[in-house]
């Protein structure tokens, strides 16, 4: 969908000529994401735009947008410098409400897992024996390890994401697709599409709620948010979350104590839900 065809006017920067018209990828509660070649003709970029909010006082709105975008970019830059898998920030204009970053090819981890699971709705009375056997699910297990490693790398850097879900992680196909993407090759030499769906490098996105923190508590809450989101988005793969945590536990020195803290956070969560 070309941005100009939508009812939303694009930011001014996207009204200048480019090798291809920008396309609106998502329209969320807070902002919009465009795919554009305005920066370099043969390299698509992701432009995150926070349009003015008519319900907010204009001066306050401008200040809030600028601060939030600048803080998101700062966290992304820090992660990128330290080798955490995140999109590189290319250029930004926080006063105008936008930031241009590296375009990540591929699909969200959520889509990959659902593709693997066959998007079959949870069936009543479904038993363990009906779920795939462990040997068959190695590509999915490996994805859980890679997600755990990516979150561990993020926390090691001193950043907590604030909104970890399988939608806020992309799976970028590797150049050397096939085995390296976690795919398996069948007897007839055809790469298994299902395995391909969960292959690739995990790239963390959407740092709008990220903060800098080294505390076990903040890190554990970050994991707990992911655990809850994972359980509700992928109930049939819930038991594999332990693999993610196991992988996380070996990524940095303090990770084991974060996992101990996670027990407390879970307990508090359970108490809260019991009290309604
Ligand atoms: N760098 C990127 N490359 C490719 N696609 C991206 C990139 N960043 C974001 N996306 C896509 O755009 C969607 C929205 O991005 P993001 O979550 O960062 O924006 P948001 O406005 O904060 O969204 P939300 O309101 O849902 O939190 C993502 O789910 C993803 O599909």
Which residues belong to the active site? 163
Q: Is the pLDDT of residue 254 over 60?
A: yes
pLDDT in the model for residue 188: 43
Q: Whose CA is nearest to atom 10 of ligand 1?
A: 33
pLDDT in the model for residue 30: 80
Q: Where are the domains of the chain?
A: 3-102, 107-275
Atom nearest to 50 CA in ligand 1? 21
Contact between residue 13 and residue 98 where contact means Cβ atoms under 8 Å apart: yes
- Given the cut 0.85, state whether the ipTM is greater than it: yes
The least confident of 5-14, 80-89, 173-182 is: 173-182
pTM of the model: 0.88
CATH code 1.10.510.10 for 107-275: yes
What distance in angstroms lies between residue 25's CA and the mean position of ligand 1's atoms?
8
Architecture of the domain defined by 3-102: 2-Layer Sandwich (3.30)
What distance in angstroms lies between residue 170's CA and the mean position of ligand 1's atoms?
9
Sheet architecture: strand order including 98-102: 23-27, 32-40, 43-49, 98-102, 89-93
Residues with CB under 6 A from ligand 1: 25-26, 28-31, 33, 46, 48, 87, 101-104, 108, 167-168, 205-206, 208
Distances (CA, A) of 63 to 9, 44, 57, 162: 21, 29, 10, 21
Which of 72, 78, 142 lies closest to 109, judged by CA? 142
Q: Is the pLDDT of residue 227 over 50?
A: yes
What distance in angstroms lies between residue 28's CA and the mean position of ligand 1's atoms?
8
What distance in angstroms lies between residue 268's CA and the mean position of ligand 1's atoms?
31
Q: Is the pLDDT of residue 13 over 80?
A: yes
Q: Whose CA is nearest to atom 4 of ligand 1?
A: 104
**Cα(172)–Cα(70) distance, integer angstroms:** 25
Ligand 1 binding pocket mutation candidate from 23, 25, 87 (most atoms within 8 A of CB): 25
């Amino acid at each position: 969908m070309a941005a100009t065809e939508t009812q939303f006017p694009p930011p001014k920067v996207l009204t200048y000529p480019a090798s291809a018209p920008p396309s609106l990828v998502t329209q969320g509660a807070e902002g919009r994401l465009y795919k554009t070649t305005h920066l370099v003709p043969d390299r698509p970029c992701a432009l995150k735009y926070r349009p003015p909010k008519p319900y907010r006082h204009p001066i306050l709105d401008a200040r809030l947008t600028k601060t939030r975008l600048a803080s998101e970019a700062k966290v992304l830059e820090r992660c990128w410098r330290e080798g955490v898998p995140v999109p590189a920030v290319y250029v930004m204009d926080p006063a105008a409400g936008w930031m241009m970053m590296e375009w990540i090819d591929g699909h969200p981890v959520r889509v990959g897992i659902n593709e693997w699971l066959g998007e079959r709705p949870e069936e009543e009375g479904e038993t363990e024996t009906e779920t795939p056997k462990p040997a068959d699910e190695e590509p999915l297990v490996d994805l859980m390890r890679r997600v755990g490693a990516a979150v561990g790398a993020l926390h090691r850097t001193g950043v907590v994401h604030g909104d970890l879900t399988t939608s806020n992680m992309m799976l970028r196909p590797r150049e050397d697709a096939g085995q390296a993407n976690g795919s398996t090759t069948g007897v007839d030499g055809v790469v298994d599409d299902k395995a391909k769906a969960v292959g690739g490098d995990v790239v963390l996105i959407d740092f709008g709620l990220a903060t800098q923190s080294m505390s076990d508590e903040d890190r554990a809450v970050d994991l707990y948010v992911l655990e809850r989101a994972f359980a509700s988005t992928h109930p049939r793969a819930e038991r594999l979350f332990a693999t993610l945590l196991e992988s996380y536990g070996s990524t940095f020195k303090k990770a084991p104590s974060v996992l101990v803290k996670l027990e407390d956070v879970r307990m508090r969560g359970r108490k809260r839900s019991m009290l309604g």
